[in-house]
A and B are shown apart, each in its own frame.
Chain A
Amino acid sequence: MEKYLIFNALNYPIITVLLVVPLIGAVFTLFLKKKSLLRVWGLAVTFLTAALSLPLYFNFDLTTPKYQFVELGHWFPSLHLNYVVGVDGISVLLVMLTTFIMPLCILCSWTYIKERFKEFVIVILIIETTMIGVFVSLNTVLFYIFWEAMLVPMYLIIAVWGGPRKDYASVKFFLYTFIGSIFLLVSIIALYIKTGTFFIPELMDHTYAFGYQMWIFLGCTLAFAIKIPMFPFHTWLPAAHVEAPTAGSVILASILLKMGGYGFLRFCLPIAPAATFYCMPYLLAFSIISIVYGGYLALGQSDIKKLIAYSSVGHMGFVTLGIFLLNAQGIKGAILQMINHGITTGALFICIGIIYERTHSRELKDNSALGMMMPIYVTFLGIFSLSSLGFPGTNSFVGELLVLMGAFSENKLVGALAIPGAILAAAYMLRLLQKMVWADSDGHAHHHKPGHHVLSDLNGREIFTLFTLAVFVFWIGFHPTPLLDVMDSSVTHLLHQLEAGMHHVGGAIHH
Chain B
Amino acid sequence: METIITNKILLTPAIPMITAILIMASGKKPNLRESWSIIGAILTFLSVVTLLPRILAGGSFQCTLFTLYPGISVKFHLDGLGILFAGTASFLWILAGFYCIGYMRGLNEHAQTRFYVCYAVSVGAAMGAAFAGNLFTLYLFYEIVSIFTYPLVAHHQDAEGYEGSKKYIVYLMFTSKAFLLPAMVLVYLQCGTLDFSTTGIVNGIFPHDASGILVIVTYCLCFFGFAKAGVMPLHSWLPSAMVAPTPVSALLHAVVVVKVGVFSVCRVMLSVFGINLLQGLHLGIVTAYFVSFTIVVASVIALSKSNLKARLAYSTVSQLSYIILGVAMLTPNSITGGLIHIANHAFSKITLFFCAGAIFVATGKKDIKELGGLGYRMPFTMIAFGLASLSMIGAPPVSGFVTKWYLALGAMDLHNVILLAVLLVSSLLNAGYFVPIFLQSFYGKPLPADKSATGSLEASPLIMLMVVPLFITAVASVLFGIYPDLFLNIINVLVGK
Residues 160-202 of B contacting A (Cβ, < 8 Å): 160, 162-163, 166, 169-170, 173-174, 177-178, 181-182, 184-186, 188-189
Residues 398-450 of A contacting B (Cβ, < 8 Å): 398, 401-402, 404-405, 408-409, 415-416, 419-420, 422-423, 425-427, 430, 434, 438-443, 445
> Does B173 contact A426, Cβ atoms closer than 8 Å?
yes
Measured CB to CB, the nearest residue on chain A to B174 is A423
State whether A405 and B67 are in contact (beta carbons under 8 Å apart), knowing that A392-B136, A430-B173, A439-B162 are contacts in the complex: no
**Is B74 in contact with chain A by the CB < 8 A criterion?**
yes
Residues 297-353 of B contacting A (Cβ, < 8 Å): none
Q: Which residue from A415, A439, A443, A478 sits with its C-beta under 8 Å from B182?
A: A415
Which residues on the A side are within 8 Å of B143 (C-beta)? 391-392
Bitwise interface map of A from 469 to 491 toward B, beta carbon under 8 Å scored 1, else 0: 00000000011110010000000
Q: Is the interface of A mostly helix, strand, loop or mixed?
A: helix
Bitwise interface map of B from 102 to 146 toward A, beta carbon under 8 Å scored 1, else 0: 000000000000000000000000000000000010011001100
CB distance from A12 to the nearest CB of B (A): 35
CB distance from B306 to the nearest CB of A (A): 25
> Does A408 contact B157, Cβ atoms closer than 8 Å?
no
Which residues on the A side are within 8 Å of B189 (C-beta)? 405, 408-409
> Does A422 contact B185, Cβ atoms closer than 8 Å?
no
State whether A404 and B185 are in contact (beta carbons under 8 Å apart), knowing that A392-B143, A398-B68, A479-B66 are contacts in the complex: yes
**Is B154 in contact with chain A by the CB < 8 A criterion?**
yes
CB distance from A296 to the nearest CB of B (A): 15
A416 and B158 CA atoms in complex are apart in Å by 38
**Is A25 in contact with chain B by the CB < 8 A criterion?**
no
**Is A386 in contact with chain B by the CB < 8 A criterion?**
yes
- Of the four ranges (under 10, 10 to 19, 20 to 34, 35 or more), the interface on chain A belongs to 35 or more
Which residues on the B side are within 8 Å of A445 (C-beta)? 157-158
> Does A423 contact B178, Cβ atoms closer than 8 Å?
yes
Measured CB to CB, the nearest residue on chain A to B154 is A438
**Is A393 in contact with chain B by the CB < 8 A criterion?**
yes
Which residues on the A side are within 8 Å of B139 (C-beta)? 392
**Is B147 in contact with chain A by the CB < 8 A criterion?**
yes
State whether A422 and B69 are in contact (beta carbons under 8 Å apart), knowing that A386-B147, A430-B169 are contacts in the complex: no
Which residues on the A side are within 8 Å of B186 (C-beta)? 408
> Does A416 contact B185, Cβ atoms closer than 8 Å?
no
> Does A415 contact B185, Cβ atoms closer than 8 Å?
yes
**Is B459 in contact with chain A by the CB < 8 A criterion?**
no
> Does B169 contact A442, Cβ atoms closer than 8 Å?
no
Residues 186-227 of B contacting A (Cβ, < 8 Å): 186, 188-189
State whether A422 and B74 are in contact (beta carbons under 8 Å apart), knowing that A393-B140, A439-B162, A442-B159 are contacts in the complex: no
Which residues on the A side are within 8 Å of B136 (C-beta)? 392
Which residues on the B side are within 8 Å of A427 (C-beta)? 170, 173-174
Of listed A386, A390, A416, A478, residue having the most chain B CB within 10 A: A478
> Does A419 contact B177, Cβ atoms closer than 8 Å?
yes
A481 and B74 CA atoms in complex are apart in Å by 13
Measured CB to CB, the nearest residue on chain B to A421 is B177
Q: Which residue from B67, B158, B163, B178 sits with its C-beta under 8 Å from A419?
A: B178
Measured CB to CB, the nearest residue on chain A to B111 is A372
> Does A434 contact B166, Cβ atoms closer than 8 Å?
yes
Which residues on the A side are within 8 Å of B67 (C-beta)? 479, 481
CB distance from B453 to the nearest CB of A (A): 22
Measured CB to CB, the nearest residue on chain A to B163 is A441
> Does B66 contact A419, Cβ atoms closer than 8 Å?
no
CB distance from A265 to the nearest CB of B (A): 20
Which residues on the B side are within 8 Å of A438 (C-beta)? 154, 157, 162
A398 and B67 CA atoms in complex are apart in Å by 11
Which residues on the B side are within 8 Å of A401 (C-beta)? 69, 72, 181, 184-185
CB distance from A100 to the nearest CB of B (A): 22
Which residues on the B side are within 8 Å of A439 (C-beta)? 157, 162
A380 and B169 CA atoms in complex are apart in Å by 20
State whether A419 and B68 are in contact (beta carbons under 8 Å apart), knowing that A392-B143, A441-B166 are contacts in the complex: no
Query: Can you list 20 contacts pairing A with B, beta carbon distance less than 8 Å?
Result: A390-B177, A391-B143, A392-B140, A401-B69, A404-B185, A408-B186, A409-B189, A420-B178, A422-B178, A426-B177, A430-B169, A434-B169, A438-B154, A438-B162, A439-B162, A441-B163, A443-B159, A478-B66, A480-B69, A481-B69
In order of increasing CB-CB distance, the 8 nearest A-B pairs are A443-B159, A392-B140, A478-B66, A423-B177, A426-B173, A441-B162, A404-B185, A408-B185
**B residues in contact (CB < 8 Å) with A:** 65-69, 72, 74, 136, 139-140, 143-144, 147, 154, 157-160, 162-163, 166, 169-170, 173-174, 177-178, 181-182, 184-186, 188-189
Given A430-B173, A439-B162, A443-B162, 20 other A-B residues pairs in contact with their CB atoms under 8 A: A391-B143, A391-B147, A392-B139, A392-B140, A393-B144, A398-B68, A398-B69, A405-B185, A420-B178, A422-B177, A426-B173, A426-B174, A430-B169, A434-B169, A439-B157, A443-B159, A478-B68, A479-B66, A479-B67, A480-B69
